[in-house]
């Protein structure tokens, strides 16, 4: 991937945004780091105190890496980072980004909760890789406030964000999402609501097929990725990408796609299920298709 040019922003630029990020896992941490690095104050919410502590360390690491790679705007004062173990304190934020586990019931419960706590018109943004946005919006008090995003991991490195407009998403909500992404120096590509939208509907079945090739003994993970990179131009290879996504997250997404589309190509293959069972989840666990234990 060719590094993007360093982003220039006037020193101490004021931002009208203050966001709450729900979930201090891989994506919540990454989104929080992106926002803090672009001068946007963040309230990071998770019920697990230890997870919040790990997230603080992760955010510091991602900010250092983003700085070294020239992915942060120069002259911008980092946004503040606050943490909380309850959503009771989200009332004054300008937007909520929900980034919890890719399980419909949990996301729906979180959106229902925060929709009762924020001011009407506050965008409720579900960061999801596969769950239809209108299905989630039905659990909010005001479905028009709900939109979807699909940030790629790591968010500081990927300059484009897939934005999903649900059937009931309001114009004001879409405008507010666009304003926030502009403040984060992210390009938005808006798509219609559907299971998996565009990126996951194309990418995740492909990763599933790549894992199935390894499962069947046709090639090693290294060989699959080398061919996809060298012959077809995939920047990292599908199985390294699986490790970056998190193999458990990938399986959850594939299950959602299979449930909503009936496409058997979306049914997680045995090798992916076996890795989840073993706890080999990718980079975050130290091992997936590749070994990262020395890095961790």
What number of helices (H) and strands (E) belong to the chain? 10, 8
Q: Please name the helix (run of DSSP H) or strand (run of DSSP E) that holds residue 92, with its range, or none.
A: none
Which whole number is the average pLDDT over 177-193?
98
- Report the pLDDT value the prediction gives residue 164, as an integer from 0 to 100: 98
Q: If you search the block for the tokens 């934005």, which residue do you land on?
A: 163
What is the predicted pLDDT for the residue at 294? 75
pLDDT digit string, tens, across residues 212-260: 999 999 999 999 999 999 999 999 999 999 999 999 999 999 999 999 9
pLDDT of residue 14: 62
Task: Convert the pLDDT of each residue in 159-182 to its tens digit.
Answer: 999 999 999 999 999 999 999 999
Residues 182, 108 contacting (CB under 8 angstroms): no
Tokens of 208: 């599933």
Which pLDDT tens digit goes with each residue over 86-129? Answer: 999 999 999 999 999 999 999 999 999 999 999 999 999 999 99
**Strands (E) located in 36-77:** 42-45
What's the token pair of residue 285?
Answer: 């666990």
β-strand pairing of 124-127 with 19-22: unpaired
Give the three-class secondary structure for 202.
Answer: helix
Residue 11 has pLDDT above 60, yes or no: no
- Specify the CATH number for 19-192; select among 3.40.1110.10, 3.30.70.980, 3.40.50.1100, 3.40.50.720: 3.40.50.720
Name the residue among 113, 162, 111, 100 with its Cα closest to residue 134: 111
Domain locations along the chain: 19-192, 200-285
Q: Does domain 200-285 have CATH number 3.30.70.1450?
A: no
| pLDDT tens sequence across 25-68 | 999 999 999 999 999 999 999 999 999 999 999 999 999 999 99
**What positions carry a catalytic annotation?**
150
């Amino acid at each position: 991937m060719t590094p993007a040019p360093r982003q220039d922003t006037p020193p101490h630029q004021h931002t009208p945004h203050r966001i709450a990020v729900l979930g201090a896992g891989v994506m919540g941490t990454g989104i929080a780091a992106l926002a803090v690095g672009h001068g946007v104050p963040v309230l990071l919410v998770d019920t697990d105190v230890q997870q919040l502590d790990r997230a603080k360390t992760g955010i510091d690491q991602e900010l250092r890496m983003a700085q070294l790679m020239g992915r942060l705007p120069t002259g911008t004062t980092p946004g503040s980072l606050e943490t909380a173990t309850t959503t009771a304190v989200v009332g004054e934020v300008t937007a909520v980004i929900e980034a919890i586990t890719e399980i419909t019931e949990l996301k729906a419960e979180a959106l229902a909760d925060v929709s009762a706590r924020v001011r009407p018109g506050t965008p409720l943004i579900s960061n999801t890789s596969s769950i239809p946005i209108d299905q989630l919006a039905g659990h909010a008090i005001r479905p028009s406030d709900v939109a979807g995003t699909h940030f790629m991991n790591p968010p500081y490195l990927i300059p484009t964000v897939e934005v999903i407009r649900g059937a009931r998403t309001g114009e004001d909500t879409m405008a507010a999402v666009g304003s926030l992404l502009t403040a984060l120096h992210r390009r938005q590509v808006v798509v219609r609501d559907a299971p998996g939208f565009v990126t996951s509907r194309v990418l995740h079945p492909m990763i599933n097929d790549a894992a199935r090739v390894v499962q069947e003994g046709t090639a090693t993970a290294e060989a699959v990725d080398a061919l996809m990179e060298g012959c077809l131009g995939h920047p990292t290879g599908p199985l390294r990408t699986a490790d970056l996504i998190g193999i458990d997250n990938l399986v959850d997404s594939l299950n959602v796609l299979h449930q909503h589309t009936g496409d058997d190509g979306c049914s997680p293959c045995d090798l992916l299920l076996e890795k989840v069972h073993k706890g080999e989840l990718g980079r975050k666990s130290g091992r997936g298709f590749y070994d990262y234990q020395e890095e961790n």
